[in-house]
Structure 1
Amino acid sequence: MDNDKLMEFLGRFVGDVGATMAAGNVVVGEQLGLYRALAESDKPLQPADVAERTGTDARYVEEWLRGQAAGGYVEYDADAGAYSMTEEQAFVLTNPDGAVNAPGAFQLALGSLRALPRIVEAFRSGEGVGWHEHAQEVFVGCQRFFRPGYIAHLVSEWLPALDGAEAKLAAGARVADVGCGHGASSVLMADAYPASTFAGSDYHAGSIRSANSRAAEAGLSERASFTVGSAQDFTGGPYDLVTTFDCLHDMGDPLGAARHIRDSLASDGTWMVVEPFAGDSVAANLNPVGRVYYSFSTFLCVPNALSKDGGYSLGAQAGEPAIRQLVTDAGFTRFRRVAETPFNIVYEVRP
């Protein structure tokens, strides 16, 4: 045995254990306002100061701060025994509308892990675990994980990259947002394009209730409505634009969904497919982002697909060749990658 390689692997293991426990601590810090107290202070704070500002117990806060400093999530001044946050740390940990929302991602991870007994059994049986069978933290965390990327890129970059779609939206288009979840994407588009109407659909009734509530809170209910329905049977059309955000790979019958989307599009309509960033092969995905997506996919995406009829299980790292083949099999004739971020790839699909 190579002792250096052993120590290297043990170091990776220790880091992973620390990261696993850090997930819960990040959510604690957000929910109790501990990060925000540090970020809003104009000077480093003692643990007792953080506790006083947040109405929490100083001893708990002290231990929490030590762990956060060890992980690099807050800064520690050893001479003063005080803690602070950099601008970058505060941006990732306290800004729900920023480009990255770390607490939401950790909430999604913790919610996913609640299904551990079911996933272990599914490995043995080959049966699926439906999206609706997961903990509430999964639905909320998923919306919080992906929404910042949509805020940063959807209206400013992704929609303008589609051939002619933005002009249609500005003039007044009919849009179907399939697999809409809590409706973050629909609400963002409806707010940006007041002449257009948006019909969101998702098979998960709880998410649809949340989506309708969010649209109402934003004053957009007249133009953004949400109904329970699958990607294979959503109603309406013909639509000028159909969108699927980070959900095609979750479907047990994505081919059936693609065919239904094609039938629901206007002759000059567009399907915008937003999928997790992935390379064209397993080897190309052996990196930190690929690890995140493969891990989530094992607990969420593949189990949901296997719980449905259809025979597919693309997984979150399906990659461009698999998506291209799918839409081609569904009868589409035009396909191109139009945008990408570290977490997503955007495809334009035309009849």
Structure 2
Amino acid sequence: MAIDMDKLNAFMGRFVGDIGAAMHAGTVLLGDQLGLYKALAVGPMSAEQLARATQTDARYVREWLSAQAASGYVEYDAAADHFHMTEEQVFALATEGSPAFIPGAFQLVLGALRSVPRLAGVFRTGLGYGWHEHDAMLFQGTERFFRPGYAANLVSSWIPALDGVDSKLESGARVADVGCGHGASTVLMAQAYPKASFVGFDYHAPSIEWARKAAAEAGVADRVTFEVAAAKNFPGKDYDLVAFFDCLHDMGDPVGASRHVRAALKPDGCWMIVEPFANDALQDNLNPVGRLYYSASTLICTPASKSQEVGLALGAQAGEKRLRGVVTEGGFKHFRRATETPFNLVFEARP
């Protein structure tokens, strides 16, 4: 075996970064759960001061702060022996409602990793591993990870990119949010369009219970209901809008889901499909965003699809061409990319 030491050293450098990031994920979750980021956002502090502010142990906090500084998540002033956060770090780590809030992503990752021992088995058998089989941390992290992006884009740009949908919602439309999870997308739409009525569907009963509480806390429970139902059999007809947020690729039979949406829409209704950003060719997705989505798809999306009937397993990097095929096979004649972000593709489908 002929080893190129320069190439090996470069690879090992990437490894050090990756293993450091993997270990760092746990510290981010601790900082989020214990309120360390939010407390430090107030201003420069020593480890002892931060420990007092959060009722934690100073020695643990010192080590945690050192890890954050080494990762660039907080700043360290050696002369004063104080730690502080920049405005950008506060925005991303301590401001829950910001569009850049990231602790939920780490919660999602650590929740998914708890299933790795069982996923090793389905790799050998080819069987599936359902969304409902994962640790509850995954469900909570998924909502907190996706909610900032929805809050930043859904009402301001995604819905306006759909032909005539914004005006229908403003005047009062019937909307089904399928695969709604904890209901973040449903609640956001209801808050923005008080004349419209919304129903969220998800096959996962614990998520529906969570979504009902979220709607009540947001003050929209009078116009939002949540029901346990799957994408191929959710009830109701004559919807003006059916929305699928980051879930079509998780479904075992997305073509069957497409057919059911087609039957549930009004003749002039619209199906909004939000999916992870992906190019059609594998080689064009070999980048940091593709790395994130292919990894998530390996641990979550592909096993979820294979656990259901058909088990098409589109994966989180299906790309526009494959998604178009699924939607048109389900009976839709019109399909277009309405808009996009670096992390999402937004499609409009019509009968």
Q: TM-score range by the shorter chain?
A: over 0.9
Contact 1:100 1:145 in 2 (8 A): no
Deviation string, structure 1 residues 202-237 (Cα, Å, up to 9, x no partner)? 000000000111111112112110000000000001
Q: Distance between the aligned counterparts of 2:271 and 2:146, measured in 1?
A: 19
Q: Equivalences for 1:326-337 in 2 at 5 Å?
A: 326-337=326-337
1:53-68 map, 5 Å: 53-68=53-68
CA RMSD, aligned part only?
Answer: 0.8
**Aligned residues: percent identity?**
60
Q: How far does residue 326 in structure 1 lie from its aligned partner after superposition?
A: 0.8
In the alignment, structure 1 residue 10 sits paired with structure 2 residue 12: yes
Partner of 1:79: 79
CA offset at residue 100 of structure 1? Answer: 2.2
Quick one: which of 9, 32, 35 aligns to 2:34? 32
Deviation at 1:138, TM superposition (A): 0.6
Measured after TM superposition, the shift of residue 124 of structure 1 is 0.4
Runs of 5+ consecutive residues of structure 1 not aligned to the other structure: none
Does the 8 Å CA contact 2:38/2:95 hold for their aligned counterparts?
A: no
Q: Greater shift after overlay, 334-343 or 144-153?
A: 334-343
Q: Which residue does 1:339 correspond to in 2?
A: 339
More moved, 212-221 vs 58-67: 212-221
> Quick check: 1:265 aligned with 2:249?
no
Gapped runs of 5+ residues in structure 2? none
1:197 is matched with 197
The structural deviation recorded for 1:278 is 0.9
Q: 2:36 corresponds to which letter in structure 1? A: L
- Deviates further, 248-257 or 275-284: 275-284
State the 1:101 CA deviation. Answer: 2.2
The corresponding residue for 1:252 is 252
Code of the residue aligned with 1:122 in structure 2: it is V
Alignment check: 8 A CA contact 1:34 1:50 kept: yes
Alignment of 1:1-351 (within 5 A): 1-41=3-43, 44-351=44-351
Distance in 1, matches of 2:196 and 2:157, equals 18
Query: CA–CA distance in 2 between the matches of 1:272 and 1:287?
Result: 26
Q: Distance in 1 between matches of 2:349 and 2:95?
A: 33
Residues in 1 aligned to 2:112 and 2:338: alpha-carbon distance in whole angstroms: 31
**Residue 56 of structure 1 aligns to a residue in which SS?**
coil
For the residue of structure 2 that corresponds to 1:175, the secondary structure is strand
Distance 1:5 1:237 in 2: 59
Aligned counterparts of 2:17 and 2:306: Cα–Cα separation in 1: 32
Runs of 4 or more above 6 Å deviation: none
Equivalent residue letter for 1:337: R
**What is the TM-score when the length of structure 1 is the normalising length?**
0.98
Size of the alignment, in residue pairs?
Answer: 349
